[in-house]
Amino acid sequence: MRPAHRRRPVAGLLLAPLLAPLLTGCFAADGGSTGAPGSGGSSDGARLRIALAFPPSENFSPYGADATLLSRLGVTEGLTRLDGNGAASPALAESWRRENGRSWLFTLRDATFQDGAPVTADAVAAALTHATEATPLPTALAGVKLTARASGDRTVRVTTATADPVLPLRLAGPSLAVLSPKAYGKKTDGKQADGKKTETAGKTETAGKKEAGKGSAPDPVGHATGPFTITKVNGSASATLDRFDDYWGGRAQASGIDAKFIADGTARANALRTGEEDIAEAVPVSQAASLPKGVAREVPTARTTSLFLNTRSGAFADPKVRAAARQAVDTSVLAKNVYEGYADPGQGVFGPALNWAAGLRKQPTGRAEPASAAAVKGTTVTLATYDNRPELPEVAQVLQQQLEKAGFTVKLTVRESSRIESDALAGKFDAFVGARNTMLDTGDPVSVLASDYTCDGTYNLALLCDRAVDRAVTAADAVADPEGRRRAVLAAEARILGTDAVVPLVHQRNVLGVATAVRGVLLDPYERAVVAPGTRR
Protein backbone atom coordinates (compact mmCIF):
# COMPACT_ATOMS: atom_id res chain seq x y z
CA MET A 1 0.00 0.00 0.00
CA ARG A 2 1.03 3.61 -0.32
CA PRO A 3 2.86 4.80 2.82
CA ALA A 4 0.83 6.99 5.14
CA HIS A 5 3.06 10.04 4.76
CA ARG A 6 2.29 10.13 1.02
CA ARG A 7 -1.46 10.30 1.48
CA ARG A 8 -3.40 13.53 1.49
CA PRO A 9 -6.99 14.30 2.42
CA VAL A 10 -8.38 14.62 -1.09
CA ALA A 11 -11.80 15.16 -2.55
CA GLY A 12 -11.62 11.80 -4.28
CA LEU A 13 -11.56 10.08 -0.92
CA LEU A 14 -15.11 11.22 -0.34
CA LEU A 15 -15.92 8.22 -2.51
CA ALA A 16 -14.49 5.81 0.04
CA PRO A 17 -17.84 4.10 0.73
CA LEU A 18 -18.35 3.52 -3.01
CA LEU A 19 -14.78 2.49 -3.73
CA ALA A 20 -14.73 0.17 -0.73
CA PRO A 21 -12.40 -2.83 -0.51
CA LEU A 22 -13.05 -5.42 -3.18
CA LEU A 23 -10.25 -7.84 -2.39
CA THR A 24 -9.11 -9.52 0.73
CA GLY A 25 -5.87 -8.29 2.19
CA CYS A 26 -3.65 -5.53 0.90
CA PHE A 27 -0.81 -5.92 -1.54
CA ALA A 28 2.54 -4.49 -0.55
CA ALA A 29 6.14 -4.85 -1.51
CA ASP A 30 7.78 -8.02 -0.35
CA GLY A 31 10.78 -7.91 1.92
CA GLY A 32 9.86 -5.07 4.23
CA SER A 33 9.79 -2.19 1.75
CA THR A 34 6.57 -0.57 0.66
CA GLY A 35 7.90 -0.14 -2.84
CA ALA A 36 5.50 2.78 -3.30
CA PRO A 37 6.27 6.14 -4.89
CA GLY A 38 8.63 8.09 -2.71
CA SER A 39 10.43 5.03 -1.39
CA GLY A 40 13.08 4.98 -4.09
CA GLY A 41 16.70 5.50 -3.09
CA SER A 42 19.44 7.46 -4.75
CA SER A 43 22.08 4.76 -5.09
CA ASP A 44 22.89 3.13 -8.42
CA GLY A 45 21.53 -0.29 -7.52
CA ALA A 46 22.03 -3.45 -9.56
CA ARG A 47 19.83 -4.01 -12.56
CA LEU A 48 16.86 -6.31 -12.05
CA ARG A 49 16.53 -9.43 -14.18
CA ILE A 50 12.93 -10.49 -14.76
CA ALA A 51 11.45 -13.47 -16.61
CA LEU A 52 7.96 -12.74 -17.90
CA ALA A 53 5.50 -15.31 -19.20
CA PHE A 54 3.96 -13.25 -21.99
CA PRO A 55 5.87 -11.47 -24.77
CA PRO A 56 4.60 -8.24 -26.30
CA SER A 57 1.95 -9.27 -28.81
CA GLU A 58 0.77 -5.88 -30.06
CA ASN A 59 3.98 -3.85 -30.52
CA PHE A 60 3.72 -2.61 -26.93
CA SER A 61 0.40 -0.91 -27.64
CA PRO A 62 -1.07 0.36 -24.37
CA TYR A 63 -4.57 -0.31 -25.70
CA GLY A 64 -4.51 -4.11 -25.63
CA ALA A 65 -2.93 -7.03 -23.82
CA ASP A 66 0.47 -5.33 -23.68
CA ALA A 67 -0.93 -2.58 -21.43
CA THR A 68 -0.53 -4.82 -18.37
CA LEU A 69 2.98 -5.78 -19.47
CA LEU A 70 3.92 -2.09 -19.50
CA SER A 71 2.43 -1.46 -16.06
CA ARG A 72 4.08 -4.57 -14.56
CA LEU A 73 7.46 -3.31 -15.73
CA GLY A 74 6.88 0.13 -14.20
CA VAL A 75 6.73 1.94 -17.54
CA THR A 76 3.24 3.44 -17.69
CA GLU A 77 0.77 5.06 -15.29
CA GLY A 78 -2.70 6.53 -15.40
CA LEU A 79 -4.44 9.25 -13.44
CA THR A 80 -5.24 6.79 -10.66
CA ARG A 81 -4.08 3.38 -9.46
CA LEU A 82 -5.68 0.68 -7.34
CA ASP A 83 -4.49 -0.08 -3.87
CA GLY A 84 -4.61 -3.63 -2.58
CA ASN A 85 -8.11 -3.16 -1.23
CA GLY A 86 -9.45 -2.27 -4.67
CA ALA A 87 -9.93 1.43 -3.95
CA ALA A 88 -8.78 4.18 -6.32
CA SER A 89 -5.71 6.02 -5.05
CA PRO A 90 -3.68 8.91 -6.51
CA ALA A 91 -1.21 8.40 -9.35
CA LEU A 92 -0.71 11.21 -11.91
CA ALA A 93 -3.79 12.83 -10.39
CA GLU A 94 -3.13 13.82 -6.80
CA SER A 95 -6.83 14.45 -6.08
CA TRP A 96 -10.25 14.49 -7.70
CA ARG A 97 -13.84 15.39 -7.00
CA ARG A 98 -17.19 14.64 -8.56
CA GLU A 99 -18.80 17.82 -9.84
CA ASN A 100 -22.15 16.31 -10.83
CA GLY A 101 -23.62 13.05 -12.08
CA ARG A 102 -21.48 12.95 -15.22
CA SER A 103 -18.49 15.22 -14.58
CA TRP A 104 -15.31 14.76 -12.53
CA LEU A 105 -12.44 17.19 -12.00
CA PHE A 106 -8.92 15.75 -11.59
CA THR A 107 -6.04 17.80 -10.20
CA LEU A 108 -2.64 16.76 -11.55
CA ARG A 109 0.57 16.41 -9.61
CA ASP A 110 3.86 17.91 -10.78
CA ALA A 111 5.32 15.22 -13.04
CA THR A 112 7.45 14.84 -16.17
CA PHE A 113 7.22 12.52 -19.16
CA GLN A 114 10.22 10.37 -19.93
CA ASP A 115 10.95 12.51 -23.01
CA GLY A 116 11.30 15.61 -20.81
CA ALA A 117 7.92 17.20 -21.51
CA PRO A 118 5.83 18.28 -18.52
CA VAL A 119 2.64 16.43 -17.64
CA THR A 120 0.03 19.10 -18.38
CA ALA A 121 -3.74 19.15 -18.44
CA ASP A 122 -3.68 19.47 -22.23
CA ALA A 123 -1.41 16.43 -22.54
CA VAL A 124 -3.57 14.32 -20.23
CA ALA A 125 -6.79 15.34 -22.00
CA ALA A 126 -5.24 14.51 -25.38
CA ALA A 127 -4.06 11.09 -24.15
CA LEU A 128 -7.51 10.15 -22.84
CA THR A 129 -9.17 11.44 -26.02
CA HIS A 130 -6.85 9.32 -28.15
CA ALA A 131 -7.80 6.24 -26.12
CA THR A 132 -11.50 6.87 -26.83
CA GLU A 133 -10.72 6.85 -30.56
CA ALA A 134 -8.67 3.64 -30.54
CA THR A 135 -9.75 0.58 -32.53
CA PRO A 136 -10.52 -1.70 -30.87
CA LEU A 137 -11.56 0.35 -27.89
CA PRO A 138 -9.54 -0.23 -24.69
CA THR A 139 -11.34 -2.69 -22.45
CA ALA A 140 -11.57 -0.15 -19.64
CA LEU A 141 -13.84 1.98 -21.82
CA ALA A 142 -16.24 -0.81 -22.77
CA GLY A 143 -19.75 0.64 -22.75
CA VAL A 144 -18.49 4.10 -21.74
CA LYS A 145 -18.31 7.32 -23.75
CA LEU A 146 -16.17 10.01 -22.17
CA THR A 147 -14.63 13.32 -23.09
CA ALA A 148 -11.62 14.95 -21.44
CA ARG A 149 -10.86 18.66 -21.48
CA ALA A 150 -8.18 20.76 -19.85
CA SER A 151 -9.59 23.13 -17.24
CA GLY A 152 -6.57 25.23 -16.34
CA ASP A 153 -2.94 24.16 -16.33
CA ARG A 154 -3.28 21.53 -13.60
CA THR A 155 -6.87 20.28 -13.81
CA VAL A 156 -8.66 17.99 -16.25
CA ARG A 157 -12.43 17.65 -16.50
CA VAL A 158 -13.63 14.18 -17.52
CA THR A 159 -17.27 13.90 -18.54
CA THR A 160 -19.18 10.74 -19.36
CA ALA A 161 -22.27 10.42 -21.54
CA THR A 162 -24.13 8.84 -18.63
CA ALA A 163 -23.37 8.81 -14.93
CA ASP A 164 -20.32 6.65 -14.13
CA PRO A 165 -19.97 6.31 -10.34
CA VAL A 166 -16.74 4.32 -10.62
CA LEU A 167 -14.83 6.52 -13.04
CA PRO A 168 -11.74 6.81 -10.75
CA LEU A 169 -11.52 3.00 -10.77
CA ARG A 170 -11.88 2.95 -14.56
CA LEU A 171 -9.07 5.46 -15.06
CA ALA A 172 -6.74 3.16 -13.11
CA GLY A 173 -6.92 0.65 -15.98
CA PRO A 174 -3.51 -0.03 -17.58
CA SER A 175 -4.99 0.63 -21.02
CA LEU A 176 -5.69 4.25 -20.03
CA ALA A 177 -2.06 5.11 -19.34
CA VAL A 178 -1.12 8.73 -19.96
CA LEU A 179 1.61 9.27 -22.57
CA SER A 180 3.43 12.32 -23.87
CA PRO A 181 2.05 14.13 -26.95
CA LYS A 182 5.13 12.88 -28.83
CA ALA A 183 3.83 9.32 -28.44
CA TYR A 184 1.02 10.15 -30.86
CA GLY A 185 3.09 11.98 -33.48
CA LYS A 186 4.22 10.81 -36.90
CA LYS A 187 7.31 8.60 -36.86
CA THR A 188 9.41 7.17 -39.67
CA ASP A 189 12.24 4.63 -39.89
CA GLY A 190 12.35 4.03 -36.16
CA LYS A 191 12.83 7.72 -35.31
CA GLN A 192 10.58 9.23 -32.71
CA ALA A 193 8.85 12.55 -33.19
CA ASP A 194 11.53 14.20 -31.05
CA GLY A 195 14.26 12.90 -33.37
CA LYS A 196 15.55 10.27 -30.96
CA LYS A 197 16.18 6.78 -32.22
CA THR A 198 14.66 3.75 -30.53
CA GLU A 199 16.59 0.50 -30.85
CA THR A 200 14.57 -2.46 -32.03
CA ALA A 201 15.47 -5.87 -33.33
CA GLY A 202 13.64 -8.92 -34.51
CA LYS A 203 10.04 -9.21 -35.60
CA THR A 204 8.40 -7.22 -32.84
CA GLU A 205 9.01 -3.48 -33.00
CA THR A 206 7.40 -0.69 -31.14
CA ALA A 207 4.74 1.46 -32.70
CA GLY A 208 7.57 3.81 -33.71
CA LYS A 209 7.36 2.85 -37.36
CA LYS A 210 3.67 3.53 -37.59
CA GLU A 211 1.90 6.80 -37.98
CA ALA A 212 0.06 7.20 -34.71
CA GLY A 213 -2.94 9.00 -36.13
CA LYS A 214 -6.53 8.85 -35.00
CA GLY A 215 -7.42 5.40 -33.74
CA SER A 216 -3.91 3.95 -34.01
CA ALA A 217 -1.72 2.82 -31.15
CA PRO A 218 0.72 5.32 -29.65
CA ASP A 219 4.37 4.56 -28.92
CA PRO A 220 5.08 4.23 -25.18
CA VAL A 221 8.85 3.88 -25.68
CA GLY A 222 10.40 6.92 -24.03
CA HIS A 223 7.05 8.70 -23.70
CA ALA A 224 5.52 7.33 -20.49
CA THR A 225 5.78 8.54 -16.86
CA GLY A 226 6.79 5.47 -14.81
CA PRO A 227 10.04 4.88 -12.90
CA PHE A 228 11.47 2.79 -15.77
CA THR A 229 11.67 3.57 -19.48
CA ILE A 230 12.10 1.12 -22.36
CA THR A 231 15.33 1.67 -24.30
CA LYS A 232 15.55 -1.45 -26.45
CA VAL A 233 13.24 -4.19 -27.69
CA ASN A 234 14.65 -7.43 -29.04
CA GLY A 235 11.64 -8.84 -30.84
CA SER A 236 9.58 -11.12 -28.64
CA ALA A 237 12.67 -12.33 -26.78
CA SER A 238 13.65 -9.48 -24.44
CA ALA A 239 13.52 -5.81 -23.60
CA THR A 240 15.91 -3.42 -21.87
CA LEU A 241 14.72 -0.70 -19.51
CA ASP A 242 16.65 2.04 -17.76
CA ARG A 243 15.75 4.01 -14.68
CA PHE A 244 13.90 7.28 -15.30
CA ASP A 245 15.73 9.62 -12.96
CA ASP A 246 13.05 12.35 -13.01
CA TYR A 247 10.23 10.11 -11.88
CA TRP A 248 7.81 12.09 -9.72
CA GLY A 249 7.68 9.37 -7.07
CA GLY A 250 11.41 9.25 -6.40
CA ARG A 251 14.45 7.85 -8.17
CA ALA A 252 14.29 4.04 -8.40
CA GLN A 253 16.88 2.06 -6.44
CA ALA A 254 17.50 -0.35 -9.33
CA SER A 255 19.40 1.21 -12.23
CA GLY A 256 17.33 -0.66 -14.78
CA ILE A 257 15.55 -3.85 -15.79
CA ASP A 258 16.56 -6.63 -18.16
CA ALA A 259 13.35 -8.43 -19.08
CA LYS A 260 13.15 -11.76 -20.88
CA PHE A 261 9.95 -13.20 -22.29
CA ILE A 262 10.00 -16.93 -21.57
CA ALA A 263 6.77 -18.72 -22.43
CA ASP A 264 7.84 -22.07 -20.93
CA GLY A 265 7.07 -22.10 -17.21
CA THR A 266 9.67 -24.71 -16.34
CA ALA A 267 12.32 -22.66 -18.15
CA ARG A 268 11.32 -19.60 -16.11
CA ALA A 269 11.64 -21.55 -12.87
CA ASN A 270 15.01 -22.99 -13.92
CA ALA A 271 16.33 -19.52 -14.79
CA LEU A 272 15.40 -18.39 -11.28
CA ARG A 273 16.86 -21.51 -9.69
CA THR A 274 20.21 -21.12 -11.46
CA GLY A 275 20.50 -17.41 -10.65
CA GLU A 276 20.03 -16.20 -14.23
CA GLU A 277 16.90 -14.28 -13.21
CA ASP A 278 15.93 -12.38 -10.06
CA ILE A 279 12.16 -12.54 -10.55
CA ALA A 280 10.03 -15.05 -12.45
CA GLU A 281 6.31 -14.64 -12.84
CA ALA A 282 3.75 -17.44 -13.10
CA VAL A 283 5.98 -20.17 -11.73
CA PRO A 284 4.30 -23.55 -12.39
CA VAL A 285 2.84 -25.04 -9.25
CA SER A 286 4.73 -28.23 -10.10
CA GLN A 287 7.97 -26.27 -9.76
CA ALA A 288 7.12 -24.23 -6.66
CA ALA A 289 8.05 -26.89 -4.11
CA SER A 290 11.46 -27.44 -5.69
CA LEU A 291 12.53 -23.81 -5.37
CA PRO A 292 14.72 -22.79 -2.43
CA LYS A 293 12.94 -21.86 0.78
CA GLY A 294 11.33 -18.44 0.63
CA VAL A 295 11.67 -18.03 -3.14
CA ALA A 296 8.13 -19.04 -4.12
CA ARG A 297 5.72 -16.29 -3.04
CA GLU A 298 2.05 -17.22 -3.18
CA VAL A 299 -0.15 -14.34 -4.33
CA PRO A 300 -3.95 -14.58 -3.90
CA THR A 301 -5.52 -13.15 -7.05
CA ALA A 302 -8.83 -12.44 -8.71
CA ARG A 303 -7.76 -14.69 -11.61
CA THR A 304 -10.26 -17.31 -12.73
CA THR A 305 -9.46 -20.12 -15.15
CA SER A 306 -12.56 -20.85 -17.22
CA LEU A 307 -13.83 -22.96 -20.08
CA PHE A 308 -15.40 -20.69 -22.70
CA LEU A 309 -17.85 -22.34 -25.09
CA ASN A 310 -18.43 -20.87 -28.54
CA THR A 311 -22.08 -19.80 -28.53
CA ARG A 312 -22.05 -18.46 -32.09
CA SER A 313 -21.18 -21.50 -34.19
CA GLY A 314 -20.45 -25.21 -33.96
CA ALA A 315 -21.79 -27.77 -31.52
CA PHE A 316 -21.92 -25.40 -28.54
CA ALA A 317 -24.22 -22.96 -30.31
CA ASP A 318 -26.89 -25.29 -28.91
CA PRO A 319 -27.48 -24.39 -25.22
CA LYS A 320 -28.40 -27.99 -24.43
CA VAL A 321 -25.02 -29.20 -25.70
CA ARG A 322 -23.29 -26.49 -23.65
CA ALA A 323 -25.20 -27.67 -20.59
CA ALA A 324 -24.03 -31.22 -21.23
CA ALA A 325 -20.42 -30.04 -21.39
CA ARG A 326 -20.78 -28.10 -18.16
CA GLN A 327 -22.31 -31.11 -16.46
CA ALA A 328 -19.35 -33.26 -17.55
CA VAL A 329 -16.74 -31.04 -15.88
CA ASP A 330 -15.45 -31.84 -12.38
CA THR A 331 -13.69 -28.70 -11.10
CA SER A 332 -12.57 -30.21 -7.79
CA VAL A 333 -10.18 -32.51 -9.66
CA LEU A 334 -8.55 -29.52 -11.35
CA ALA A 335 -8.02 -27.58 -8.12
CA LYS A 336 -6.61 -30.51 -6.21
CA ASN A 337 -4.56 -32.32 -8.85
CA VAL A 338 -3.59 -29.87 -11.57
CA TYR A 339 -3.08 -26.83 -9.33
CA GLU A 340 -1.85 -28.88 -6.35
CA GLY A 341 -3.88 -26.83 -3.90
CA TYR A 342 -2.86 -23.42 -5.32
CA ALA A 343 -6.43 -22.83 -6.48
CA ASP A 344 -10.05 -23.15 -5.36
CA PRO A 345 -12.81 -24.93 -7.33
CA GLY A 346 -14.73 -22.60 -9.64
CA GLN A 347 -17.65 -20.85 -8.00
CA GLY A 348 -18.50 -18.17 -10.54
CA VAL A 349 -17.02 -15.44 -12.68
CA PHE A 350 -15.78 -13.85 -9.45
CA GLY A 351 -13.89 -16.02 -6.99
CA PRO A 352 -13.18 -16.00 -3.25
CA ALA A 353 -10.58 -13.22 -3.56
CA LEU A 354 -13.60 -10.94 -3.86
CA ASN A 355 -14.68 -11.44 -0.30
CA TRP A 356 -18.11 -9.88 -0.78
CA ALA A 357 -19.19 -12.24 -3.56
CA ALA A 358 -19.80 -15.47 -1.64
CA GLY A 359 -22.55 -14.08 0.56
CA LEU A 360 -24.41 -12.48 -2.34
CA ARG A 361 -24.02 -15.09 -5.07
CA LYS A 362 -27.20 -16.33 -6.75
CA GLN A 363 -27.96 -19.60 -8.49
CA PRO A 364 -27.61 -19.49 -12.30
CA THR A 365 -30.83 -18.41 -13.97
CA GLY A 366 -32.34 -19.64 -17.24
CA ARG A 367 -30.21 -22.74 -17.75
CA ALA A 368 -31.24 -25.22 -20.44
CA GLU A 369 -31.66 -28.91 -19.70
CA PRO A 370 -28.50 -30.82 -20.71
CA ALA A 371 -28.61 -32.80 -23.93
CA SER A 372 -28.68 -36.55 -23.36
CA ALA A 373 -25.55 -38.66 -23.55
CA ALA A 374 -26.95 -40.25 -26.70
CA ALA A 375 -27.44 -36.83 -28.30
CA VAL A 376 -23.83 -35.73 -27.75
CA LYS A 377 -22.18 -39.08 -28.45
CA GLY A 378 -19.68 -38.66 -31.26
CA THR A 379 -20.04 -34.88 -31.39
CA THR A 380 -16.63 -33.54 -32.41
CA VAL A 381 -15.42 -30.31 -30.83
CA THR A 382 -12.15 -28.39 -30.90
CA LEU A 383 -10.66 -27.36 -27.55
CA ALA A 384 -7.80 -24.85 -27.45
CA THR A 385 -5.59 -23.15 -24.90
CA TYR A 386 -2.16 -21.53 -24.54
CA ASP A 387 0.97 -22.67 -22.74
CA ASN A 388 2.27 -19.40 -21.25
CA ARG A 389 0.49 -20.40 -18.06
CA PRO A 390 1.85 -23.93 -17.72
CA GLU A 391 -1.15 -25.42 -15.92
CA LEU A 392 -3.54 -24.61 -18.78
CA PRO A 393 -2.47 -27.40 -21.17
CA GLU A 394 -2.85 -29.89 -18.33
CA VAL A 395 -6.26 -28.43 -17.50
CA ALA A 396 -7.23 -28.83 -21.15
CA GLN A 397 -6.08 -32.46 -21.16
CA VAL A 398 -8.20 -33.24 -18.09
CA LEU A 399 -11.19 -31.51 -19.69
CA GLN A 400 -10.60 -33.50 -22.86
CA GLN A 401 -10.85 -36.70 -20.84
CA GLN A 402 -13.94 -35.54 -18.95
CA LEU A 403 -15.73 -34.43 -22.13
CA GLU A 404 -14.84 -37.62 -23.97
CA LYS A 405 -16.20 -39.63 -21.05
CA ALA A 406 -19.48 -37.78 -21.59
CA GLY A 407 -19.50 -38.80 -25.27
CA PHE A 408 -17.78 -35.91 -27.05
CA THR A 409 -14.87 -36.38 -29.44
CA VAL A 410 -12.31 -33.68 -28.57
CA LYS A 411 -9.48 -32.34 -30.70
CA LEU A 412 -6.96 -30.42 -28.59
CA THR A 413 -4.85 -27.47 -29.79
CA VAL A 414 -2.14 -25.77 -27.68
CA ARG A 415 -0.18 -22.74 -28.87
CA GLU A 416 1.57 -19.69 -27.43
CA SER A 417 -0.91 -17.03 -26.34
CA SER A 418 -0.04 -14.40 -28.94
CA ARG A 419 -0.57 -17.00 -31.67
CA ILE A 420 -3.93 -18.31 -30.51
CA GLU A 421 -5.89 -15.57 -28.75
CA SER A 422 -7.00 -13.79 -31.94
CA ASP A 423 -8.26 -17.10 -33.35
CA ALA A 424 -10.23 -17.72 -30.17
CA LEU A 425 -11.83 -14.28 -30.33
CA ALA A 426 -12.69 -14.94 -33.98
CA GLY A 427 -14.56 -18.11 -33.02
CA LYS A 428 -12.22 -20.59 -34.70
CA PHE A 429 -12.53 -23.06 -31.82
CA ASP A 430 -15.55 -24.68 -30.19
CA ALA A 431 -14.09 -24.26 -26.71
CA PHE A 432 -11.23 -22.33 -25.17
CA VAL A 433 -9.51 -22.56 -21.78
CA GLY A 434 -8.24 -19.21 -20.57
CA ALA A 435 -7.11 -17.56 -17.33
CA ARG A 436 -8.51 -14.09 -16.70
CA ASN A 437 -7.95 -11.70 -13.80
CA THR A 438 -11.49 -10.45 -13.50
CA MET A 439 -10.42 -7.21 -11.85
CA LEU A 440 -7.50 -6.46 -14.15
CA ASP A 441 -8.90 -3.82 -16.45
CA THR A 442 -10.82 -1.40 -14.23
CA GLY A 443 -11.27 -2.75 -10.72
CA ASP A 444 -15.02 -2.53 -11.33
CA PRO A 445 -16.68 -5.95 -11.69
CA VAL A 446 -19.33 -4.54 -14.03
CA SER A 447 -16.67 -3.69 -16.57
CA VAL A 448 -15.38 -7.25 -16.92
CA LEU A 449 -18.93 -8.49 -17.46
CA ALA A 450 -19.46 -5.88 -20.16
CA SER A 451 -16.17 -6.69 -21.84
CA ASP A 452 -16.37 -10.47 -21.69
CA TYR A 453 -20.05 -11.38 -21.95
CA THR A 454 -22.11 -8.73 -23.77
CA CYS A 455 -22.91 -8.40 -27.46
CA ASP A 456 -20.53 -5.45 -27.84
CA GLY A 457 -17.85 -6.88 -25.53
CA THR A 458 -14.27 -6.46 -26.68
CA TYR A 459 -12.92 -9.66 -25.05
CA ASN A 460 -15.84 -12.01 -25.57
CA LEU A 461 -14.18 -15.42 -25.89
CA ALA A 462 -17.56 -17.19 -25.76
CA LEU A 463 -18.96 -14.88 -28.49
CA LEU A 464 -22.01 -14.55 -26.27
CA CYS A 465 -24.81 -12.25 -27.40
CA ASP A 466 -27.78 -12.66 -25.11
CA ARG A 467 -30.18 -9.75 -24.66
CA ALA A 468 -31.13 -10.82 -21.14
CA VAL A 469 -27.44 -10.77 -20.18
CA ASP A 470 -26.97 -7.36 -21.77
CA ARG A 471 -29.94 -5.99 -19.86
CA ALA A 472 -28.63 -7.40 -16.57
CA VAL A 473 -25.15 -5.91 -17.11
CA THR A 474 -26.64 -2.54 -18.09
CA ALA A 475 -28.82 -2.59 -14.99
CA ALA A 476 -25.80 -3.29 -12.77
CA ASP A 477 -23.86 -0.45 -14.35
CA ALA A 478 -26.63 1.99 -13.48
CA VAL A 479 -26.44 1.28 -9.73
CA ALA A 480 -24.24 3.67 -7.73
CA ASP A 481 -24.88 2.35 -4.23
CA PRO A 482 -22.02 -0.07 -3.40
CA GLU A 483 -24.13 -2.83 -1.87
CA GLY A 484 -26.79 -2.50 -4.55
CA ARG A 485 -24.16 -2.55 -7.29
CA ARG A 486 -22.64 -5.75 -5.93
CA ARG A 487 -26.04 -7.44 -5.78
CA ALA A 488 -26.76 -6.36 -9.35
CA VAL A 489 -23.34 -7.64 -10.46
CA LEU A 490 -24.04 -11.09 -9.07
CA ALA A 491 -27.53 -11.09 -10.58
CA ALA A 492 -25.84 -10.47 -13.93
CA GLU A 493 -23.31 -13.21 -13.14
CA ALA A 494 -26.18 -15.63 -12.49
CA ARG A 495 -27.69 -14.73 -15.85
CA ILE A 496 -24.33 -15.28 -17.60
CA LEU A 497 -23.74 -18.64 -15.91
CA GLY A 498 -27.27 -19.62 -16.91
CA THR A 499 -26.26 -19.47 -20.57
CA ASP A 500 -23.45 -22.01 -19.98
CA ALA A 501 -21.27 -19.87 -22.23
CA VAL A 502 -18.60 -20.05 -19.54
CA VAL A 503 -17.76 -22.76 -17.03
CA PRO A 504 -15.62 -21.36 -14.17
CA LEU A 505 -12.99 -24.01 -13.44
CA VAL A 506 -10.69 -22.71 -10.69
CA HIS A 507 -9.81 -19.47 -8.92
CA GLN A 508 -6.03 -19.19 -8.90
CA ARG A 509 -3.37 -18.29 -6.41
CA ASN A 510 -0.35 -17.31 -8.50
CA VAL A 511 3.20 -18.20 -7.60
CA LEU A 512 5.78 -15.44 -8.10
CA GLY A 513 9.40 -16.51 -7.90
CA VAL A 514 11.64 -13.98 -6.14
CA ALA A 515 15.34 -14.51 -5.38
CA THR A 516 16.16 -14.17 -1.70
CA ALA A 517 18.42 -11.17 -2.37
CA VAL A 518 15.60 -9.15 -3.94
CA ARG A 519 13.52 -6.72 -1.88
CA GLY A 520 10.51 -4.59 -2.63
CA VAL A 521 8.76 -6.79 -5.22
CA LEU A 522 5.04 -6.02 -5.34
CA LEU A 523 2.65 -8.88 -4.54
CA ASP A 524 -0.34 -7.49 -6.39
CA PRO A 525 -3.65 -9.39 -6.44
CA TYR A 526 -4.60 -7.41 -9.54
CA GLU A 527 -1.42 -8.52 -11.35
CA ARG A 528 -0.81 -4.99 -12.60
CA ALA A 529 2.47 -4.34 -10.82
CA VAL A 530 5.67 -6.22 -10.00
CA VAL A 531 8.38 -3.58 -9.68
CA ALA A 532 8.37 -0.17 -8.00
CA PRO A 533 10.98 2.47 -7.13
CA GLY A 534 11.86 0.49 -4.01
CA THR A 535 12.43 -2.84 -5.78
CA ARG A 536 16.12 -3.74 -5.55
CA ARG A 537 18.78 -6.40 -5.12
275 exposure class (CB count in 10 Å sphere: 0-12, 13-18, 19+): exposed
- Report whether pLDDT(42) > 70: no
- The pLDDT tens digits of the residues spanning 76-108 come to 999 999 886 677 899 999 999 999 989 999 999
Question: What integer pLDDT is reported at residue 32 of this predicted model?
Answer: 41
Q: How confident is the model at residue 43 (pLDDT cuts 50, 70, 90)?
A: low
Q: Which residue has the higher pLDDT, 44 or 16?
A: 44
Distances (CA, A) of 83 to 30, 71, 78, 216, 224: 15, 14, 13, 30, 21
Which domains can be identified in the chain, with CATH numbers? 4-280 (3.40.190.10), 301-508 (3.10.105.10)
- pLDDT score, position 40: 41
Higher pLDDT, 88 or 187: 88
Give dist(CA 146, CA 139) in Å, integer: 14
Which class for 242: exposed (0-12), middle (13-18), buried (19 or more C-beta within 10 A)?
Answer: middle
Q: How does 435-471 read in b/e, with b if 16+ C-beta sit within 10 Å?
A: bbbbbbbbbbbbbbbbbbbbeebbbbbbbbbbeebbe
Q: What Rg do the C-alpha atoms of the chain give, in angstroms?
A: 22
- Three-state SS string across 201-257, please? ECCCCCHHHCCCCCCCCCCCCCCCCCCEEEEEEECCCEEEEEECCCCCCCCCCECEE
| CA-based end-to-end distance of the chain | 20
Q: Tell me how far CA of residue 23 lies from CA of 448, 524, 525, in angstroms.
A: 15, 11, 8
DSSP state of 88: E
pLDDT digits (tens, 9 = 90+) for 135-185: 878 878 877 899 999 998 899 999 999 888 889 988 999 999 999 999 998
Dist. CA 189–CA 212, nearest whole Å: 13
Q: Whose CA is closest to 203, among 100, 84, 360, 55?
A: 55
**pLDDT band, residue 299 (cuts 50/70/90):** confident
CA 512 from chain center: how many Å?
A: 16
Type of residue numbered 338? V
Helices (H), ranges, 230-335: 265-273, 285-288, 319-328, 331-333
Whether 450 contacts 477, CB under 8 Å = yes
Mean pLDDT along residues 442-467 = 91
Mean pLDDT estimate for the chain: 85
Angstrom distances, CA of residue 516 to CA of 291, 299, 353: 11, 17, 27
What pLDDT is attached to residue 438?
A: 80
Q: Is-contact 98 104, C-beta < 8 A?
A: yes
